[in-house]
Amino acid sequence: MADSTRALARRGATQGSSVTPGSVTPWEYAPAPESALIGRIKPRYRMFVGGRFVDGRGGDQATINPATESELAQVSWASADDVDDAVRAARRAYDTVWSKMSGLDRGKYLFRIARGIAERARELAVVETLDNGKPIKESRDADIPTAAAHFFYHAGWADKLEHAGFGPHPKALGVAGQVIPWNFPLLMAAWKIAPALAAGNTVVIKPAESTPLSILVLAEIMQDAGLPDGVVNIVTGAGDIGSYLVNHPGIDKVAFTGSTAVGKKIQQSLAGTGKKVTLELGGKAANIVFDDAPIDQAVEGIVNGIFFNQGHVCCAGSRLLVQESVEDEVISKLRDRIATLRLGDPMDKNTDIGAINSAEQLSKITELSAAGDAEGAHRWTSPCPVPDKGFFFPPTVFTDVSQSMRIAREEIFGPVLSVLTFRTPDEALAKANNTPYGLSAGIWTEKGSRILGMAGALRAGVVWANTFNRFDPTAAFGGYKESGFGREGGPSGLAAYLDTDSDTADEGAA
């Protein structure tokens, strides 16, 4: 988008010069805002339990538009009693309907949901952007279509589970308790709900406190699809409700996407309960650029890797490892490219970088960036204008970063790139793997053998070579080490929602 904008400006300048030689006046930037009305935002949203929208007993809370800091809607929050109700509804639905239904019919509901998302895609994109702050072009082109694709893909698994590779009679686990983050609200809901239902489980899911709206629109879609009551239940609230849900004795499986710190707490509290747990946690991905890389493509990949979704991506390429011999060229081109990124109104179709999701997250990014200054890294900030209102953080690149600095070790979860250098592939590998995380990595080189060699040696669950941040329901996603365990997508993602040990007497919770 920024490219075409720039091209327009150039064209404008050329035309201008042909009219009045000597004076170059680029066209004024003309915003192309999406209409907020498409989102049909309601003044108040309710939780979804037992197939009905109900008032929660946790009181009403406002959800705000992070780009304007103004209230978007009131949301009725759950109390612990509501979670009890939701778990009961999910259990009843499992016992009486869902576990008795054929896989083919379960699949039909998932197909309907996929279609429903596609039909209301633009509305969902607007809701997502207003509630989350991400650019409309990303919610429209990435989040929503991929969410629909997840339902469509898993729909087809529902009657083919015996072919998934986990024995001839894979069984559902029962009721799944799921907690999802705010960075991809609808997409994460799809990643959690679709495989759970395809495998034959019922669901109680809690969206993030700051982004509850899109999943409640999804609830309307599920209701319209005729999904049996209680198969999916949505409880709204903050961390205390999430904690109550994952520790609820009435659930059989826990799936969590979020921070490593919270993931560790969940794993700890569930120790010894026998519940199957999958965790998708933080990351600090290395994006490795070798001197034989296609530099221009690499620069695009670096930008996509760290600035996609304001850097609120667990698999973001937040550590750039660049070979010393091309460091100057890469950094110079990178800064030029970043300077063209348009930061601002997420509803503007030209916006590349939207709003930081919350004041809390903004202060975390600010604090970690300050640590980068304090520890001696060199900060470069895009000269782009920053809106007065709303939570925004301009694209930032730290150079002269060393391994020991916090900005090289901790997940910033914002549009902040830390640049480290290396001389040899071995050094790149050692630095890339020198982290407790292991979610993703990037490799940029024209040499095929180097790609495959590095891809094999990197301890990360997803490796993008000459590309970055690609997601697909058919491709497993998930981390090594402290980035969590279990996978989402592909056949291995189904394992998270199946009793995969029933094929053996020597069994355990894998």
Instruction: Choose the catalytic residue: 128, 209, 280, 488.
Output: 280
Judged by CB under 8 A, the residue of 207, 481, 494, 498 near another protein is 481
Judged by CB under 8 A, the residue of 267, 366, 381, 434 near another protein is 267
Residues 6+ apart with CB under 8 A from 221: 113, 116, 117, 120
* 491 contacts another protein (rule: CB under 8 A): yes
Is the distance from CB of 178 to CB of 196 less than 8 angstroms?
yes
Strand partners, 442: 287, 464
> Active-site residue 280, yes or no?
yes
- The stretch near another protein (CB under 8 A) out of 19-27, 124-132, 200-208, 490-498 is 490-498
Closest of 77, 96, 56 to residue 230, by C-alpha: 96
Residues 144-183 that bind another protein (CB under 8 A): 149, 165-167
For another protein, the closer CB: 44 or 470: 470
Judged by CB under 8 A, the residue of 357, 484, 494, 498 near another protein is 484
For another protein, the closer CB: 337 or 487: 487
Q: Half-sphere exposure of residue 104, counting CA atoms within 13 Å on the CB side?
A: 0
CB of 436 to another protein, least distance (A): 7
Task: Classify residue 118 by burial, with Cβ atoms within 10 Å: 0-12, 13-18, 19+.
Answer: middle
Using only the alpha carbons of the chain, give its radius of gyration: 23
Instruction: Choose the catalytic residue: 138, 209, 314, 482.
Output: 314
Residues 362-421 that bind another protein (CB under 8 A): none
Q: Half-sphere exposure of residue 493, counting CA atoms within 13 Å on the CB side?
A: 25
Using the structure block, give the residue that is written with the tokens 């601002």: 344
Judged by CB under 8 A, the residue of 7, 24, 271, 386 near another protein is 271
CA–CA separation, 438 and 230 (whole Å): 36
Judged by CB under 8 A, the residue of 94, 184, 480, 497 near another protein is 480
* 141 contacts another protein (rule: CB under 8 A): no
Residue type at 372? G
Judged by CB under 8 A, the residue of 264, 364, 447, 450 near another protein is 264
CB of 323 to another protein, least distance (A): 20
Judged by CB under 8 A, the residue of 4, 20, 23, 268 near another protein is 268
x-or-dash string of contact with another protein, 439-478, rule CB under 8 A: ------------x---xx--xxxxxxxxx--x-x-xxxxx
Judged by CB under 8 A, the residue of 28, 249, 272, 404 near another protein is 272
Judged by CB under 8 A, the residue of 66, 195, 354, 490 near another protein is 490
Closest of 367, 281, 380, 391 to residue 339, by C-alpha: 380
Judged by CB under 8 A, the residue of 39, 107, 116, 263 near another protein is 263
* 497 contacts another protein (rule: CB under 8 A): no
- The stretch near another protein (CB under 8 A) out of 127-135, 193-201, 273-281, 377-385 is 273-281
CB of 64 to another protein, least distance (A): 32
For another protein, the closer CB: 149 or 215: 149
CA–CA separation, 19 and 12 (whole Å): 11
260-270 vs 239-246: helix axis angle to the nearest 10?
Answer: 30
> Active-site residue 314, yes or no?
yes
CA–CA separation, 477 and 95 (whole Å): 31
Closest of 439, 376, 384, 365 to residue 404, by C-alpha: 376
* 262 contacts another protein (rule: CB under 8 A): no
CA–CA separation, 279 and 277 (whole Å): 7
Judged by CB under 8 A, the residue of 495, 496, 497, 498 near another protein is 495
Is the distance from CB of 323 to CB of 428 less than 8 angstroms?
yes
For another protein, the closer CB: 265 or 333: 265
Is the distance from CB of 90 to CB of 202 less than 8 angstroms?
yes
Is the distance from CB of 111 to CB of 151 less than 8 angstroms?
yes
- The stretch near another protein (CB under 8 A) out of 106-114, 131-139, 198-206, 481-489 is 481-489
- If you write DSSP's letter for every residue of 336-398 in order, what string do you get? HHHHT--BS-TTBTT-SB---S-HHHHHHHHHHHHHHHHTTPEEEE------SSS-----EEE
For another protein, the closer CB: 115 or 265: 265
CA–CA separation, 29 and 13 (whole Å): 13
**Binding site residues, another protein, CB under 8 A:** 149, 165-167, 260, 263-265, 267-268, 271-272, 274, 279, 281, 294, 297, 436, 451, 455-456, 459-467, 470, 472, 474-478, 480-485, 487, 490-492, 495, 500-501, 503-510
> What positions carry a catalytic annotation?
280, 314
